[in-house]
């Protein structure tokens, strides 16, 4: 699989990575054996980039990755994690002492002395404008606790603020055919500054897979049930903030645009891969089959201008008004 450099870091990541939120929590139940089989299928398909966080299953996702890599010492996998969501979301909690404590815990969970990449995990907006926060992150680099740092953001405005910081290696942002606003300013700014872009929620929480109907019922412990209106965290993390019923209707139209040989999910991933400035896209997977199919999108032909135009038209007609004013 092709690899791209993660911005200023100089390190490389497969163009399709693996998001591991679902291996920890919030997507229904996933047993340990199934989680390990997903990781195995991903790397056998060419994936070299895993994205996790200290709050995914209260560390379970990090620990699962560590166990998998211990059993596969020949692998060279870039592991990005996140920190900041283990405390009340107020700017005052984003300080060096907390960073060190969170970092210690993630290093233990992942079984490493130094983390490849640590991202602030969608912190309160004022954090991005606080010099002391980035001074503290620089300190973690100087102490060799982390190799580099980035941010995971909710809004385009937050992304642009972070990109202006000289030490930021990457920005993780929601980007998919139902969330196009980052194409306007964020991706060009990141490319110019040499900042990597990690595209998350690429399938709009599964909407873009074309598998769901208005009658689909998700488990009670799945965020697609309990956070559909932003009850527990930012609504944009669930179905990209798109109203579920209208999103299902738009997804049917999206699926009809898939060229021969593409699944709807692969169409969404291929669309993201083609956007200038994207470093890697991190779909999750609940089964080995999903992991393999996601990775296969990297080898599919580029989408035609006709298909790209049709996807844009669908977004403009059905989705844009719902999401662009908020994120």
Q: What is the pLDDT of residues 14-61, one digit of tens each?
A: 999 999 988 876 555 677 888 999 999 999 999 999 999 999 999 999
How many domains, the chain? 1
* C-alpha–C-alpha distance, residues 240 and 256, integer Å: 20
pLDDT of residue 26: 55
User: Encoding tokens for residue 65?
Assistant: 């990755």
Q: How confident is the model at residue 276 (pLDDT cuts 50, 70, 90)?
A: very high
User: Encoding tokens for residue 89?
Assistant: 């979301």
Q: Is 27 helix (H, G, I), strand (E, B) or coil?
A: strand
**Nearest residue to 92 (alpha-carbon basis) of 136, 48, 59:** 136
| Inside any domain, residue 327 | no
| Inside any domain, residue 69 | yes
Residue 28 Ramachandran class (φ > 0 left, ψ -120 to 50 alpha, else beta): left
| Inside any domain, residue 96 | yes
State the chain's maximal CA–CA distance in angstroms. Answer: 53
Q: Is the pLDDT of residue 9 over 80?
A: no
Residues 143-173: pLDDT tens digits?
Answer: 999 999 999 999 999 999 999 999 999 999 9
Neighbours of 219 (CB within 10 A): 12
**Nearest residue to 85 (alpha-carbon basis) of 134, 122, 140:** 122
End-to-end alpha carbon distance in the chain: 31
Query: Which range marks the domain in which residue 300 is found?
Result: 3-322
pLDDT of residue 29: 64
Q: Are 53 and 102 in contact (CB under 8 A)?
A: no
Average pLDDT, the chain: 95
User: Encoding tokens for residue 152?
Assistant: 């995971």
Which single residue is written with the structure tokens 């300190």? Answer: 139
| Inside any domain, residue 235 | yes
Say which CATH number the domain at 59 has: 3.20.20.100
| Inside any domain, residue 267 | yes
Q: Is the pLDDT of residue 62 over 70?
A: yes
Q: Output DSSP code: residue 115.
A: B
Q: Output DSSP code: residue 53.
A: -
pLDDT of residue 104: 98
Q: Are 21 and 185 in contact (CB under 8 A)?
A: no
Measured in degrees and rounded to the nearest 5, phi and psi for residue 246 equal -70, -30
| Inside any domain, residue 93 | yes
* Least confident window among 10-24, 199-213, 251-265: 10-24
Per-residue pLDDT, averaged over 126-151, amounts to 98
* C-alpha–C-alpha distance, residues 292 and 96, integer Å: 40
């Amino acid at each position: 699989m092709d690899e791209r450099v993660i911005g200023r870091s100089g390190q490389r990541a497969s163009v399709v990575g693996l998001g591991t939120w679902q291996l920890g929590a919030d997507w229904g139940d996933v047993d340990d054996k199934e989680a390990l089989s997903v990781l195995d299928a991903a790397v056998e398909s060419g994936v070299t980039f895993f994205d996790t966080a200290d709050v995914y299953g209260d560390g379970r996702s990090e620990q699962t990755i560590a166990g998998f890599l211990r059993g596969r010492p020949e692998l060279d996998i870039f592991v990005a994690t996140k920190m900041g969501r283990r405390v009340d979301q107020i700017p005052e909690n984003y300080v060096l002492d907390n960073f060190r404590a969170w970092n210690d815990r993630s290093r233990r969970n992942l079984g490493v002395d130094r983390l490849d990449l640590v991202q602030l995990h969608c912190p309160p907006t004022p954090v991005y404008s606080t010099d002391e926060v980035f001074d503290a992150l620089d300190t973690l680099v100087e102490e060799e606790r982390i190799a580099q740092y980035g941010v995971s953001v909710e809004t385009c405005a937050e992304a642009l603020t972070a990109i202006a910081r000289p030490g930021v290696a990457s920005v993780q942002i929601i980007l998919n055919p139902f969330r196009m606003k980052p194409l306007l300013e964020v991706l060009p700014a990141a490319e110019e500054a040499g900042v990597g872009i990690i595209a998350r929620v690429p399938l709009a929480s599964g909407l873009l897979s074309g598998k769901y109907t208005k009658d689909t019922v998700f488990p009670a412990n799945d965020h697609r049930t309990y956070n559909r209106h932003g009850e527990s965290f930012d609504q944009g993390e669930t179905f990209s903030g798109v109203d579920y019923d209208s999103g299902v209707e738009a997804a049917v139209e999206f699926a009809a645009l898939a060229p021969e040989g593409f699944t709807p999910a692969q169409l969404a991933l291929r669309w993201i891969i083609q956007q200038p400035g994207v470093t890697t896209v991190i779909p999750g997977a609940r089964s080995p089959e999903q992991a393999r199919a996601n990775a296969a999108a990297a080898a599919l032909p580029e989408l035609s201008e006709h298909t790209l135009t049709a996807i844009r038209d669908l977004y403009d007609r059905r989705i844009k008004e719902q999401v662009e004013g908020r994120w």
